[in-house]
């Protein structure tokens, strides 16, 4: 009789363990993989005080992001396609500085790592390779460059002040007006605050200022002071966002050059729209 009871209890325990294990495995299967696929559209690609595709030319940024569990490590691919190079192809063969905006379409690769210290400080490092695969054919030189960034964010203070330092190195010496491929430094200070509107929706407000020593292009100065407001709504794995942005470009090296058509342009407005799915 005792043996029968022990056998019954053992069988019950085995069934319970199997059920718990099955639920744990199912939960693990339902856990997010850490992959996000999305795209963004900017109606003007403002980059460190410059209109990258020329004033008023939009750009699409499709991307795939993978966060490696809870390690703080992430990998990312990002495309870059000028809107004028799509559709009827207007802008593909423009003359002058542009040589067709298709020259600046690209495929870019990133690896990054972030580490948080007791919710008080977050330290980050990031490396990009920017590959403009049409540039050699369209421009006669490779516009590609390597970029490394180190940043620190103080999470314990209001507005989470962040300082970042970026170093750029061009692959092809022919692209460099100064003949120097390196020595390009960009320092940025930023503040940000998120406001929860309703469940799943936030409004992010940001202020930033940057100083750019673009040694390769013989340009130097305070390149951009920006303000932004970004609305993000998430439901399940789907996320939608839109932003409005304003920039003041103090330095004459950046507000009047080939990117502006050699006319002074100190103020910029642009908007962005994006959609993503995470799983």
Total domains in the chain come to: 2
Q: Can you give the CATH number for the domain in which 135 is found?
A: 2.40.160.40
Buried residues in 75-106 as b, exposed as e (16+ CB within 10 A) = ebebebbbbbbeeeeebbeeeeebbbbbbbbb
Same domain, 70 and 109: yes
Same domain, 18 and 136: no
Residues 127-137 pLDDT 10s: 999 999 999 98
pLDDT attached to residue 94? 54
Same domain, 200 and 218: yes
Same domain, 88 and 7: no
Rounded to an integer, what distance in angstroms lies between the CA atom of residue 31 and that of residue 27? 6
Lowest mean pLDDT among 45-54, 107-116, 154-163, 185-194: 45-54
State which H helix or E strand residue 7 sits in. Answer: helix 2-30
Same domain, 1 and 71: no
Same domain, 23 and 144: no
Cβ contacts of residue 66 below 8 Å, gap of 6+? 34, 35, 36, 74, 75, 76
Residues 159-178 pLDDT 10s: 999 999 999 999 999 999 98
Same domain, 127 and 2: no
Rounded to an integer, what distance in angstroms lies between the CA atom of residue 222 and that of residue 107? 28
Residue 15 has pLDDT above 70, yes or no: no
Could you write out the DSSP letters of every residue in 72-85? SEEEEEEEEEEGGG
Q: What angle do CA 48, 80, 269 make, to 5 degrees?
A: 45
If one counts every other C-beta atom within 10 angstroms of the C-beta of residue 254, the result is 24
Domain encompassing residue 141: 32-278
pLDDT attached to residue 91? 54
Residues 66-117 pLDDT 10s: 999 999 999 999 999 988 776 555 555 555 444 567 888 999 999 999 999 9
Same domain, 203 and 83: yes
Residue 26 has pLDDT above 70, yes or no: no
Same domain, 81 and 121: yes
| Reported pTM | 0.84
Same domain, 4 and 25: yes
Same domain, 8 and 121: no
Same domain, 16 and 59: no
């Amino acid at each position: 009789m005792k043996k029968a009871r022990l056998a019954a209890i053992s069988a019950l325990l085995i069934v319970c363990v199997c059920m718990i294990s099955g639920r744990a495995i199912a939960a693990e299967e339902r856990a997010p993989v850490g992959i996000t696929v999305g795209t963004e559209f900017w109606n003007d690609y403002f980059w460190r005080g410059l209109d990258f595709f020329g004033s008023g030319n939009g750009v699409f940024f499709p991307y795939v992001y993978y966060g490696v569990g809870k390690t703080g490590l992430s990998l990312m691919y990002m495309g870059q396609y000028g809107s004028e190079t799509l559709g009827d192809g207007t802008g593909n063969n423009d003359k002058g500085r542009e040589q067709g905006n298709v020259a600046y379409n690209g495929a870019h690769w990133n690896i990054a790592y972030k580490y948080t210290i007791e919710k008080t400080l977050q330290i980050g490092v990031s490396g990009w390779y920017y590959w403009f695969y049409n540039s050699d054919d369209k421009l006669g030189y490779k516009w590609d460059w390597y970029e490394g960034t180190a940043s620190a964010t103080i999470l314990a203070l209001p507005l989470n002040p962040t300082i970042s330092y970026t170093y750029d190195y061009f692959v092809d010496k022919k692209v460099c007006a100064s003949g120097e491929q390196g020595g390009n430094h960009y320092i940025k200070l930023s503040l940000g605050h998120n406001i929860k509107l309703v469940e799943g929706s936030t409004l992010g407000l940001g202020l930033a200022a940057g100083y750019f020593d673009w040694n390769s292009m013989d340009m130097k100065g305070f390149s951009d002071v920006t303000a932004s407001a970004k609305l993000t709504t998430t439901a399940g794995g789907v996320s939608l966002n839109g932003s409005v942005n304003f920039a003041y470009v103090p330095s004459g090296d950046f507000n009047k050059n080939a990117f502006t058509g050699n006319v002074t342009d100190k103020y910029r407005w642009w908007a962005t729209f994006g959609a993503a799915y995470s799983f």
